[in-house]
Amino acid sequence: MVILVFIITLLLYGGLVYYIGWRGLHWLRPKSSTRRFKILYSLVIVLAATSFIVGRMTGLTFINIIGAYWMACFYLLLLLVPLAHVTVILLRLTRLPRHGTQKWAGFITLGLLIFFMAWGSYNAFSPVVRDYEIQIDKGSSTLDELHIVMAADMHFGLLSGKDHAERFVKETNALNPDIILLPGDLFDDDVQPFLDQEIDKILSKLQAPLGVYASLGNHDRHDGTMKELIESLEQGGITVLYDETVDVEGQFTLIGRKDRIDDERLPLDALINGVNQTKPKILIDHQPYDLDIAQQEGIDLMVSGHTHRGQIFPGSLLTDMIYENDWGHLQKEQMHSIVTSGFGFWGPPIRLGTRAEVVSIRVEFE
């Protein structure tokens, strides 16, 4: 069954690439295009179309970068090329020259592709700060307020690299947080580029008097043991809560969960069994599922990421259907759910219809 799905997916992908390449050849080729031009054009399309898979298989940095940008172009061309194709067909009903119509369609499509790639790159690498203010029952805590800075889905690796990590530290420290929470996907499937660029040393510059805490996400993977993965983060001064709880200076309980795909993940009620129920409880959980369960278990604040808010429109329409809260703030009785669109990106290094962000949460205890 898996092989059949793979074959169907491969054939579908190949068909779409052929369609995009075929239309591009008709729209952009010179009037007197030679056989050599067609061969060269076809070779470029094939190499680009296979670069994402080849890059993942070989681990070659240059191929991975080409693959990531190809996926961005492929996604956009899936939207632009059919639209241009229909436009050309309609214009054929006029007296405009056929070749001229195709040329204009090709150049306009190319221009739109460049525009959206540039705009998407800006959105991905120019983060904004999202501010939220919430009220929580303080219980037996003596705190009056707490300033949390939260970010997820950095996907630090080949493209979301050293410069983006330094940008993250600068943006975060400028907010003067009391505590920093990182709910997962700090790596981009492989910890090695993270270590090669010494991003752990960059993250060690994060400053918060109550500490820096993280949970792991579905892309926080490593060929070695999970212990080695966690150690690579803790070298940067980040405390990883791997189905663990911690009492923060006797004021509130912080709960960090294993990711939802982890078979050994504890049920929430078992995880918080034994914690002080009279103090506020803050949950770090990468994927924003089971909000009802978190609310029923007395969680006051749940911070999550994972959704990227779709990353590229119309992806946000899909995440809105999948998740009860795919982005922003949602209150369910006493519990507040705050989901970030993420600081980084996965796959295509662009964002359209969403923006890279750092989240500032000001908590008032009542």
- Quick: pLDDT tens for 71-89: 999 999 999 999 888 887 8
The dihedral built from the CA positions of residue 114, 116, 120 and 122, taken in this order, carries a sign that is positive
pLDDT digits (tens, 9 = 90+) for 3-62: 888 889 889 999 999 999 888 887 777 666 678 888 888 999 999 999 988 887 887 888
CA gap 292, 309 in Å, rounded: 21
Number of Cβ within 10 Å of residue 13's Cβ equals 13
CATH of domain 129-365: 3.60.21
* pLDDT higher at 172 or 160: 172
CA gap 327, 281 in Å, rounded: 21
Contact between 113 and 20 under an 8 Å Cβ cutoff? The reply is: no
Element (H, E) at 13: helix 2-28
What pLDDT is stored for residue 98 in this prediction? 62
Q: Is the pLDDT of residue 150 over 70?
A: yes
Of residues 183, 175, 186, 128, the one with CA closest to residue 148: 175
Q: How many residues does the chain have?
A: 366
Number of Cβ within 10 Å of residue 330's Cβ equals 17
Structure tokens at 327: 């982005």
The pLDDT > 70 percentage for the chain reads: 96
CA gap 163, 291 in Å, rounded: 35
Burial code of 293-309, b = ≥16 C-beta within 10 A, e = fewer?
ebbebbbbbbbbbbbbb
Structure tokens at 295: 């609310």
Angle of the 35-58 helix axis to the 61-91 helix axis, nearest 10: 130
Contacts of 320 (CB under 8 A, 6+ apart): 310, 326
What residue ranges do the domains of the chain occupy? 2-124, 129-365
Number of Cβ within 10 Å of residue 201's Cβ equals 14
What pLDDT is stored for residue 26 in this prediction? 78
Contacts of 83 (CB under 8 A, 6+ apart): none
Cα→Cα distances 245→225, 272, 330, Å: 22, 7, 24
Residue 319 DSSP SS3: helix
Structure tokens at 50: 């296979």
What pLDDT is stored for residue 315 in this prediction? 93
Give the confidence band of 95 by pLDDT, cuts at 50, 70, 90. Answer: low
pLDDT digits (tens, 9 = 90+) for 319-360: 999 999 999 999 999 999 999 999 999 989 999 999 999 999
Give the count of alpha carbons within 13 A of 1, CB side only. Answer: 0
